[in-house]
Amino acid sequence: MELQKQTRFASFSNHSNNNVNSLRVASPTSNVASELADIDWDNLGFGLMPTDYMYTMKCSQGETFSKGELIRFGNIELSPSAGVLNYGQGLFEGLKAYRKHDGNILLFRPEENGQRLRLGAERMCMPAPTVDQFVEAVKATVLANERWIPPPGKGSLYIRPLLMGSGAVLGLAPSPEYTFLIYVSPVGNYFKEGLAPINLIVETEIHRATPGGTGGVKTIGNYAAVLQAQSAAKAKGYSDVLYLDSINKKYLEEVSSCNVFVVKGNVISTPAIKGTILPGITRKSILDVALSQGFQVEERHVAVEELLDADEVFCTGTAVVVSPVGSITYLGKRVSYGSEGVGRVSQQLYSALTSLQMGLTEDKMGWIVELK
């Protein structure tokens, strides 16, 4: 693909060791306009679309991350003995950038992702960028790929930061070297249904996480572990899987890649964060939005039986934002929610949060980082 000149950045230089063009961030606040990439913005799915640049920064074990750079998007080179390949020493994050009608670009709570990455890195014995380094790297990567940010209302630019053990290690031990990397891709809806009810099945045998494990951090292994159950569910026509706790097999945990909420009257309940559930940033934000709108919010053990007489159920995550649940099947019994499509509470919270993320309403929470 033809690359647009990124005049907001300083001069390019060739790296002799990897034959890719690199550039150093000069003035990411420049007002140089960029033309949009030539793609079908009306039919964006949730899949990888290669963009122009990615960000990379390396660090040795026992040291700190210091200097990162933007390089052309492309494949990376790893030792076959890299810690991430052999022992799964890796984490990832996910956040989005939105384009406003005035051309400005909005990020939603990026410092929360940076902090969560640091907590996960501690659990996985990895050094991590500081929160400030994380946020600045995200900003630089987004601005370098500005032409890939969808027009207002057409989607978002999904941002995927990775932290991995890239150094060679044979015996089981922390990797000697680490790579922090960010790439981006324009995306539409995560579920093909869009903001339409999804259908879930409760998994009773396969578990996503166990107490004392890594379910509470965003390690790469958490997601490979759900593929078998998720694939089987999708083959039967379900959208995704809802997992139960591995001890009692009766309390809700989360869906494959998003948190779950149960609505009954004016009460919104969600499983408490106790080490087996990912502390979602959208989850956290929805709790605050719901409180501000007068709902009673509870973080607690939520028994699977509570699904049977719930008024609404919905999921939250960076990719889905808010996804209403149309039905849940548990032990062969299907429970449906609402007869008119998206539930009132789901719609209300979805509208409130997305309006905030897209800059359509005033940010009274101080959650938005605006790039001009």
pLDDT digits (tens, 9 = 90+) for 219-251: 999 999 999 999 999 999 999 999 999 999 999
**Do the domain assignments include residue 227?**
yes
pLDDT in tens, 103-132: 999 999 999 999 999 999 999 999 999 999
- Mean pLDDT for the stretch of residues 79-96: 98
CATH code: domain of residue 77: 3.30.470.10
pLDDT tops 80 at residue 207: yes
d(CA 255, CA 259): 6
303 and 353 in a single domain? The answer is yes
CA angle 155, 350, 254 (to 5 degrees): 95
75 and 177 in a single domain? The answer is yes
122 and 270 in a single domain? The answer is no
* pTM confidence score: 0.89
Q: How confident is the model at residue 23 (pLDDT cuts 50, 70, 90)?
A: very low
203 and 252 in a single domain? The answer is yes
d(CA 257, CA 244): 14
pLDDT in tens, 247-297: 999 999 999 999 999 999 999 999 999 999 999 999 999 999 999 999 999
* Residue 290, domain extent: 198-358
**Do the domain assignments include residue 169?**
yes
pLDDT tops 80 at residue 33: no
Residue 201 burial (CB < 10 Å; 0-12/13-18/19+)? Answer: buried
300 and 321 in a single domain? The answer is yes
168 and 204 in a single domain? The answer is no
- In the beta sheet, which residues pair with residue 157? 97, 186
328 and 231 in a single domain? The answer is yes
Instruction: Give yes or no for a contact between 207 and 230, defined as CB atoms under 8 angstroms apart.
Output: no
SS3 for 285? helix
pLDDT in tens, 94-105: 999 999 999 999
d(CA 232, CA 189): 22
98 and 222 in a single domain? The answer is no
**Do the domain assignments include residue 299?**
yes
Instruction: Give yes or no for a contact between 23 and 12, defined as CB atoms under 8 angstroms apart.
Output: yes
**Do the domain assignments include residue 1?**
no
**Do the domain assignments include residue 324?**
yes
Instruction: Give yes or no for a contact between 127 and 178, defined as CB atoms under 8 angstroms apart.
Output: yes
Q: Which residues are catalytic?
A: 218
Question: Rounded mean pLDDT of the chain?
Answer: 90
CATH code: domain of residue 328: 3.20.10.10
- In the beta sheet, which residues pair with residue 333? 330
pLDDT tops 90 at residue 22: no
**Do the domain assignments include residue 113?**
yes
